[in-house]
A and B are shown apart, each in its own frame.
Chain A
Amino acid sequence: MTSAAHTEILARERDLAQRCAAGERAAQESVFALLRIPIHRTLHRILGPSRHAMDLTQDAFLEVFRSIGSFRGESRLASWAEIVAARVAYRHLSSRPPRPTHLSLVPEPVDPGPGPDRTTDAREAIRRLYAILDRLEPKYRVTYALHVIDGRPLQEVARTTETTYVAAKNRAARARRMVNERARRDPLLRRFLERGGETP
């Protein structure tokens, strides 16, 4: 995309945001249509296949609409909304009752061996991965989901989680270590992570 085209898109989105902040219903509907996938996808990545993603999508949209007046048009509206969604997820995870922190106390998953097909294995591996993430502190979980799973650059993750680049890098490394340590004892999960380019 040329620089001029990018600038034009930013200006158009800034205008849309302003009309939305002024309460124009048609603009609100356009913003909803524009942002529904970026917001839901971000939450889906962080929370995994969970029923909370849709509930939190509602919370994230309300926050987007309430604060859209502060959108300056320096980035794409979708990127800005993804940051809002990540914060909503972070708050949700932080407000839950504390989970056990010692992974060694969690029962070992049982590897049933090769499944009837790869899809079933993958689904089970995803469930196990998110079960591990569920026991990480929110800052590690969000960083792992955005950087390792979703492949977003650390700079962007740092901006989304409102921290420094160095802190984001440290969090990603530590989260990786915790997940990999667990995966080394779970062949199904280890194979899954290896297929995704990780080296437990």
Chain B
Amino acid sequence: MSLGDLIPYEEPSEAEWAELERVVLDELGDESPARPAPSRRRATWALVAVGLVAAAAALWLWPRPDPAPIRSQTIRMATSTAPSATSLGEVHVQLGPGGSGVAVGGDRQGWVVTLESGRADFSVPPRGDRPSFVVQAGEVRVEVVGTRFSVTRHPRPGLPDRVEVTVAHGEVRVTSGGGAHLLRAGMRWSSAPVEPAPAGEVSREAAPPPPSTEASREPSRDPAPDDATLFRRASALESDAPDRASRLYAAIARRGGRWAGAALFARARLEHDRGDRVLAGRLADEYLRRFPDGVHASDARRLSSN
């Protein structure tokens, strides 16, 4: 027997693998092409300007091409012990601990999210002329009219999964077993449970609206707590693992929440401190483009001109 035989290998769960694969492949997809050298910067800008003028002229003179083909994206979502937030175009999704699901679609053709397990909270802008947004949890289909709501799927071996839908704002249409239910703000629906339902739960029918506060009726637009935690984690990683800190800042900046500006600038500063002035300059430029009046604008200008 060797020493290795006595040390058990603990393989991560499928959900952890799925999350890691998503992060790695997304990061590969996001990687930008090679950056220009600083000495060529001015020449590059001139070329870009000439190119833009030529492109504008071509667009004005040329007949309009056929629309670009609509491409679907597939986004896998999985969490272990901590919740995770994802954006599907304008839709904000927060997946609770131990959850997993797959989103397929795009902004032009609409999204279908298949919830495999766990709880997911959705914040969906009113549909109007927008394409549909659908959540499928087992046999239960939730079609969104424009709202903020959550869907929870409880897998039960040998039994149909129990699915709960709670609407915080707006309305959704739930279809299950041939029946359809329109749920409005404050209503909750649950598929028929085989075992006794928890106290206060109403099956198959829309529950009477529970007392709701003004705060719960406000549209959700604050992903800050999540991003704030990530930002703190990135700050703590700066000294020991600057690569990971930089990647974390990049992810926060990409998500476009309230911490995006701070993360973008922090990454620019970090790269500057690490000696990559070209990348720092590029990030500072991006900061100034996205947040021209941001609190770090003057510092970003200094980084940009370095």
State whether A95 and B240 are in contact (beta carbons under 8 Å apart), knowing that A49-B10, A58-B23 are contacts in the complex: yes
| A197 and B2 in contact, given A25-B25, A28-B25 (Cβ under 8 angstroms) | yes
Which residues on B sit within 8 Å (CB–CB) of A96?
240
Q: What's the Cα separation between A97 and B241 when bound, in Å?
A: 11
| Interface pair A149/B7, CB less than 8 Å apart | yes
B3 touches A59 (CB 8 A): no
Choose the segment among A2-10, A29-37, A164-172 that binds chain B (4+ C-beta atoms closer than 8 Å). Answer: A29-37
Query: Of the candidates A57, A126, A198, which one forms a contact with B7 in the assembled complex, judged by CB atoms under 8 Å apart?
Result: A126
Q: Which of A48, A65, A151 is in CB contact (< 8 Å) with B2?
A: A151
Mask of A128-164 contacts with B, CB within 8 angstroms, 1/0: 0000000000000000000011110000000000000
B245 nearest CB across to chain A (Å): 12
Q: Is the CB of B1 within 8 A of A44?
A: no
* A150 CA to B6 CA, complexed, in Å: 10
With a cutoff of 8 Å between Cβ atoms, the chain A residues found around residue B27 in the complex are 62
Instruction: Give 23 pairs: A residue, B residue, CB < 8 Å, sorted on A.
Output: A28-B28, A29-B25, A32-B21, A32-B24, A41-B9, A48-B7, A55-B244, A58-B20, A61-B24, A62-B24, A65-B24, A92-B241, A95-B240, A122-B6, A149-B2, A151-B2, A192-B6, A195-B1, A195-B6, A196-B1, A196-B3, A196-B6, A197-B1
Cβ–Cβ < 8 Å partners of B2 in chain A: 149, 151, 196-197
A87 within 8 A of partner (CB): no
Q: Which of A54, A97, A149, A192 meets B12, CB within 8 Å?
A: A54
Q: A37-B11, A44-B9, A54-B12 are in contact. Are A148 and B3 (CB under 8 A)?
A: yes
Let me know if B276 is at the binding interface, CB within 8 A.
no
Q: Restricting to A60-89, which residues have a CB under 8 Å from any CB of B? A: 61-62, 65
| Count of A-B residue pairs with CB < 8 Å | 72
B84-117 Cβ-contact flags toward A at 8 Å (1 or 0): 0000000000000000000000000000000000
Which residue of chain B has the shortest Cβ distance to A57 in the bound complex? B20
Q: Does A45 contact B (CB under 8 A)?
A: yes
Q: Within 8 Å of chain B (Cβ to Cβ): is A14? A: no
State the Cβ distance, B23 to closest chain A Cβ, in Å: 6
A198 touches B28 (CB 8 A): no
Q: Are A198 and B3 in contact (CB under 8 A)?
A: yes
Assess A59 versus B28: contact at CB under 8 Å? Given A151-B4, A193-B3, A196-B2. no
A33 to chain B, nearest CB (A): 8
Instruction: Specify which chain A residues have a CB less than 8 angstroms from the CB of B4 in the assembled complex.
Output: 45, 149-151, 196
Secondary structure at the B interface, as helix, strand, loop or mixed, is helix
- The interface residues of chain A lying within 8 Å CB-to-CB of B3 are 148-149, 151, 193, 196-198
Task: Write the nearest CB–CB distance from A145 to chain B, whole angstroms.
Answer: 9
Interface assignment of A182: CB less than 8 Å from any CB of chain B: no
In the bound complex, CA of A122 to CA of B9 (Å): 13
Chain B residues with CB under 8 Å of A62's CB are: 24, 27-28
Q: Mark B231-266, 1 if CB is under 8 A from A, else 0.
A: 000000000110110000000000000000000000
- CB contacts (< 8 Å) of B25 on chain A: these are 25, 28-29, 32
Q: Judge whether A190 is part of the interface by a CB distance below 8 angstroms.
A: no
Interface set, chain A 91-149, CB cutoff 8 A to B: 92, 95-97, 122, 126, 148-149
Tell me which residues across on chain B come within 8 A of A54, comparing CB atoms.
Answer: 12, 16, 20
**How far apart are the CA atoms of A92 and B237 in the complex, in Å?**
12
Bound-state CA distance A28–B25 (Å) is 8
Q: Which residues of B contact A58 (CB under 8 A)?
A: 20, 23-24
Decide if B273 is an interface residue (CB 8 Å cutoff): no
Residue in A23, A44, A122, A196 whose beta carbon sits within 8 Å of that of B10 in the complex: A44
Bound: A92/B23 CA distance, A: 20
Bound-complex Cα distance A62 to B243 (A): 11
Question: Which residues from A are CB-within-8-Å of B241?
Answer: 55, 92, 95
**Chain A nearest Cβ from B2, distance in angstroms:** 5
